[in-house]
Chain A
Amino acid sequence: MYLIFEESGCFFGISVNDIFKIIDLGSLIFRDDKYFFYDMEIRKTLISDIFDLKNRIDQEAKKVVILEHFDSFKPALFVHDVVGFIKEDGKILKKQDFLNLYGYKHVKGFLINNNRLITLIDKKAFLNFGNNGERE
């Protein structure tokens, strides 16, 4: 099952197995230039940090998707809005490998639902980003 969220008019999906918790932005505490959920350090990532979106719209983040990660911090995606969940039902459309050359390295595949293309992203993209703070 995938969590679907919207960013800059595009739809993205991330496996629920990769998610620790989904919370409202207001549930985070900002202290000493760091975000915390209770006493757990949260490392902020935006979709636009990872992918070079064609139609980037600066939207206010409303939700935080905290990712499962065994370390002193947990990476989290600050997203505009969460749309819902979708079962893949084996209908994942494959990505051709050559698309990795064109910015699709961290894309696992795609789903089409309600006439929308949903880009399924790999949790690894956010773990790598957390280490050096730069897009690969």
Chain B
Amino acid sequence: MVKESKFLLFSLGGRFYLCRESLIERIIAIESANMYFAPFGPDWLRYFISYNGMVLPIIKEHEEILCEKMYNVIILKKVFNFVGFLVDYIYKFVNISDDVIEKALNTPVFMAKKAIIYDEKECFLLDIEALLEGRE
């Protein structure tokens, strides 16, 4: 029997990403008025939001004026430090065989190191290290 894992398919900056379901704490929609510019820190640390009595950093590749009223944010679990990132569009959860994930090709981009082909699209696998440590 083929072993599968569940991933969330979303798009960000014109790319498709897959995020392992087990990494996700919550998916929220937040008003731009409740997002605050980070006063210092690396470029990719763009904003802060208030979440459960703490300040949660929001990661984004490029700076932009927050012109939309609401933004979708995926929050990752505390075991990886609570951290969130803005996404453009959330599609659906999909099951992908572990074999396919293991054969992912090295394709480093923002927040990811590897990619697979899913549904005829190049999809980047969200990677915690790339997200937090590889971007300084």
Residues of chain A having any CB pair with chain B under 8 Å? 10, 51-55, 93-96, 98-99, 102-104, 109-110, 112, 115-117, 119
Contact = CB atoms under 8 A, between A and B. Distances in A.
B54 A54 contact: no
Considering the complex of A and B, which 9 residue pairs feature the smallest CB-CB distances, nearest first? Answer: A117-B36, A10-B39, A94-B54, A102-B41, A98-B81, A93-B55, A51-B40, A110-B55, A103-B40
Contacts of A110: 48, 55
Interface residues on B, range: 20 to 34
Contacts of A104: 40-41
Contacts, number: 55
14 contacts: A51-B39, A52-B40, A53-B39, A93-B53, A95-B54, A96-B55, A99-B41, A102-B45, A103-B42, A110-B48, A115-B33, A116-B36, A117-B36, A119-B39
A45 to B, nearest CB: 16
Interface of B: 33, 36-42, 45, 48, 50, 53-57, 81-82, 132, 136
A116 B132 CA distance: 26
**Interface residues of A: mostly helix, strand, loop or mixed?**
mixed
Given A110-B48, A112-B50, A96 B40 contact: no
Contacts of B41: 52, 54, 99, 102-104
A95 B55 contact: yes
A8 B50 CA distance: 22
Given A54-B38, A112-B50, 20 more contacts: A10-B37, A53-B39, A54-B37, A54-B39, A93-B53, A94-B53, A94-B54, A94-B55, A95-B54, A95-B55, A96-B57, A98-B81, A98-B132, A99-B57, A103-B41, A109-B55, A112-B36, A115-B33, A116-B36, A119-B39
Contacts of A10: 37, 39
Nearest to A97: B81
Contacts of B136: 102
Nearest to A56: B40
B117 to A, nearest CB: 33
Given A102-B45, A110-B55, A96 B36 contact: no
Contacts of B37: 10, 54-55, 117
